[in-house]
Amino acid sequence: MESLRCLVCQGQSIADSDADMAADMRAMVRRRIAAGEEPDAIRDWLIDRYGRWITYEPPFDAVTWPLWLLPLLLLGAGLWLARRRFRFGKKR
């Protein structure tokens, strides 16, 4: 429940939200767990129903790869620029 976003609050998980919708979703998750469903299966069902946006941990796939790789690329570019800047500063 900590990794699922509240559809009403958007900035809180369903575990932290006081919204009625979040309470309904918590109850639904609890019922499914009590029925013997695995947490990953419940999470996948909610993602299928509400979209990837509902999770704070989007899966790595063709649509979300920029979310995972862009920070690494930007960090690499920043390090490369800093290295060039410091190297050229020493030659002068």
pLDDT at 57 exceeding the cut of 70: yes
pLDDT at 63 exceeding the cut of 80: no
The rounded distance, in Å, linking the Cα atoms of 53 and 73 is 23
* CA distances from residue 16 to 4, 6, 54, 79 in whole angstroms, order as listed: 10, 9, 14, 38
Does one domain contain both 43 and 71?
no
Do 8 and 21 meet the contact criterion of CB atoms below 8 Å apart?
yes
Provide the residue type at 1 as one letter.
M
Does one domain contain both 1 and 32?
yes
Q: Which domain holds residue 40?
A: 1-58
Does one domain contain both 44 and 2?
yes
Q: Which residue has the higher pLDDT, 60 or 48?
A: 48
The rounded distance, in Å, linking the Cα atoms of 21 and 49 is 14
